[in-house]
Amino acid sequence: MNICVVGAGYVGLVTGSCLADIGHRVICIDNDEGKIRLLNAGQMPIYEPYLEDLVQQNRKRGSLSFSTDLSRGAKDSEVIFICVGTPPLENGEADLSFVEKVIREVGATADSHKLVVEKSTVPVQTGEYINRTLKIYSREEKGHFDVASNPEFLREGSAVLDFFHPDRIVIGVDNRRTEDVLRQIYLPILEGTFRCPVHSSCLPATRPLFFVTDLKSAELIKHASNSFLATKISFINAIGEICERVGADVQKVAEGMGLDPRIGKEFLKAGLGFGGFCFPKDLQAFVCIGEKYGYDFALLKEVEKINKSRIDVAMEKLKKHLWVLRGKTIAFLGLAFKPQTDDIRFAPAMELIRRLREEGCHIRAFDPQAMKKASSEIPEIFYGRDPYEVAEGAEALVLATEWPEFLDLDWDKMRRVMARPFILDGRNFLPRSRVTALGFEYVGMGR
């Protein structure tokens, strides 16, 4: 099928290259000329495991191309996936201006039937606005549209894996024809007949569920899912506060809770809290949706409050142990909001660094992938070549992102180069007994 993907960011670039890989002819559109120039020159604007190979191979095969020309992309395609950003406005609502701009242009340029699919995370009822907008701006006699919701559940860091091995594909449609087109698009995934770029040989034991519902319910599934996961994280962070006060260990509590299959162990990780381009903004947007329809979603407001307080908790711990912060050198391991990505949007590490700089601290930081993006946002700090370089002369080390390679460092060497061997493990990630045996002072979160 000929598909146009609008927005070549974390979602659009993954969706576009994976759809091309399973047999479609895809054009990815972005209005960021620099990004498109980079992609057309064979370079990557983001880091995501396995993505670069997929992009290069499919470009070479001619099944994937990049352009800034939306009208061309829209004209040449039967299906248009909207993957542009929906960042938060000042009041927490989702900013839908990028979506609207694309829809107006699609409406104005379409000269045959188009299926428009929302993949961006949008408030419930956006599908109705999209439908209306397409009708208003289209050249009536030519453009006919169907609109569907196909919320994206990929996790940055394993986005390619998640495309090929999803647990479910959710679609919201208002007619059978649209359902059939979307099923056809995802058929290789649903039937397990794709060449997996992640595993050398993989026969998926279970096929993903193709979950079909109405448009509004599909839109709500995305916001409800993200809010639920964020609630789990804030819940365990609240438990961690109790643990610290009574001398218990949140890791053990989480482990014991997670053994109950009704609870599950995922997302019960106490620490610096959640960040990224999804949970913080989607939570705020969902609270706003509640308000708009007369429901006070107090539960989610509390989830957000607990999450924001995690940075205060980390600041307090550093103040308590370092006494005076002004003039102290603090090393950071990890800047990205989670491992295996270079995404620093709403990353707790970045917020903590800003707060420490306000207190007069000198920051030295290392991240395996996110330093380029971090240095364009906070250029004033020192970015080291490796963890040993950033640890040099530091009076505290904050582990802010749990990159697996940090476990394999020569921690004895780290201790020797630091001015004071103090670790604030913001992710409860390092083996406490091992590092304390080496002579580190170790402070975790909720234990």
Ligand X SMILES: NC(=O)c1ccc[n+]([C@@H]2O[C@H](COP(=O)([O-])OP(=O)(O)OC[C@H]3O[C@@H](n4cnc5c(N)ncnc54)[C@H](O)[C@@H]3O)[C@@H](O)[C@H]2O)c1
Interface stretch with ligand X, choices 73-81, 97-105, 124-132, 142-150 (CB under 6 A): 97-105
**Helix 126-137 vs helix 97-109: angle between axes, to the nearest 10 degrees?**
40
Nearer to ligand X, 146 or 152 (CB): 152
Nearer to ligand X, 36 or 314 (CB): 36
| Sole binder of ligand X in the list 16, 73, 85, 348 (CB under 6 A) | 85
| Sole binder of ligand X in the list 8, 311, 397, 418 (CB under 6 A) | 8
| Rounded least distance, CB 244 to ligand X, Å | 31
CA-CA distances (angstroms) from residue 320 to 218, 271, 311? 47, 17, 14
Residue nearest to ligand X (CB): 9
- Across 290-312, b (16+ Cβ under 10 Å) vs e yields beeeeeebeebeebbebbebbbe
The beta strands (E) that lie in 109-184 are given as: 114-118, 145-149, 168-172
CA-CA distances (angstroms) from residue 353 to 12, 331, 418? 30, 10, 19
- Using the 8-state DSSP alphabet, how is residue 89 labeled? P
Nearer to ligand X, 12 or 348 (CB): 12
Which of positions 98-137 make contact with ligand X (CB under 6 A)? 98, 101-102, 120-121
The beta strands (E) that lie in 241-284 are given as: none
- For residue 130, is it left (φ>0), alpha (ψ between -120 and 50) or beta? alpha
φ and ψ of 39, to 5 deg: -65, -40
Nearer to ligand X, 342 or 402 (CB): 342
User: Residue 245: how many CB atoms within 10 A of its CB?
Assistant: 9
Site pattern 25..44 for ligand X (x: CB under 6 A): ----xxxx--x---------
For residues 388 and 414, is the Cβ–Cβ distance under 8 A? yes
- Find the helix or strand (DSSP H, E) in which 153 lies: none
Q: What is the dihedral of CA 218, 221, 226, 229, to 10 degrees?
A: -150
Return the residue matching tokens 């359902």: 179
| Rounded least distance, CB 440 to ligand X, Å | 34
Site pattern 182..221 for ligand X (x: CB under 6 A): ----------------------------------------
- 119 token code pair: 């993949």
Whole-number Å distance between alpha carbons of 440 and 438: 6
- 136 token code pair: 């208003």
- 201 token code pair: 């040989």
Interface stretch with ligand X, choices 6-14, 265-273, 289-297, 330-338 (CB under 6 A): 6-14
- Using the 8-state DSSP alphabet, how is residue 327 labeled? T
Which of positions 244-283 make contact with ligand X (CB under 6 A)? 277-278
Interface stretch with ligand X, choices 79-87, 179-187, 307-315, 319-327 (CB under 6 A): 79-87
Whole-number Å distance between alpha carbons of 68 and 58: 18
Whole-number Å distance between alpha carbons of 294 and 75: 41
One-letter amino acid for residue 88 of the chain: P
| Rounded least distance, CB 233 to ligand X, Å | 15
Nearer to ligand X, 30 or 402 (CB): 30
Nearer to ligand X, 14 or 400 (CB): 14
Q: Contacts with ligand X: how many residues (CB under 6 A)?
A: 27
| Sole binder of ligand X in the list 27, 64, 83, 390 (CB under 6 A) | 83
| Sole binder of ligand X in the list 3, 5, 12, 233 (CB under 6 A) | 12
Whole-number Å distance between alpha carbons of 104 and 157: 33
Catalytic residue among 4, 28, 278, 288: 278
Interface stretch with ligand X, choices 59-67, 95-103, 365-373, 435-443 (CB under 6 A): 95-103
Return the residue matching tokens 């104005």: 108
| Sole binder of ligand X in the list 6, 36, 396, 418 (CB under 6 A) | 6
Whole-number Å distance between alpha carbons of 299 and 98: 29
Nearer to ligand X, 35 or 373 (CB): 35
| Rounded least distance, CB 206 to ligand X, Å | 22
Nearer to ligand X, 185 or 398 (CB): 185
Site pattern 139..178 for ligand X (x: CB under 6 A): -------------x-x-x----------------------
Q: Work out whether 344 is an interface residue with ligand X (CB under 6 A).
A: no
How far the first Cα of the chain sits from its last, in Å, is 53
Interface stretch with ligand X, choices 10-18, 56-64, 247-255, 389-397 (CB under 6 A): 10-18
Nearer to ligand X, 9 or 426 (CB): 9
SS3 426: coil
Q: Please indicate whether residue 202 is annotated as part of the active site.
A: no
Q: Which positions touch ligand X (CB under 6 A)?
A: 6-12, 29-32, 35, 70, 83-86, 98, 101-102, 120-121, 152, 154, 156, 277-278
Residues annotated as part of the active site:
278
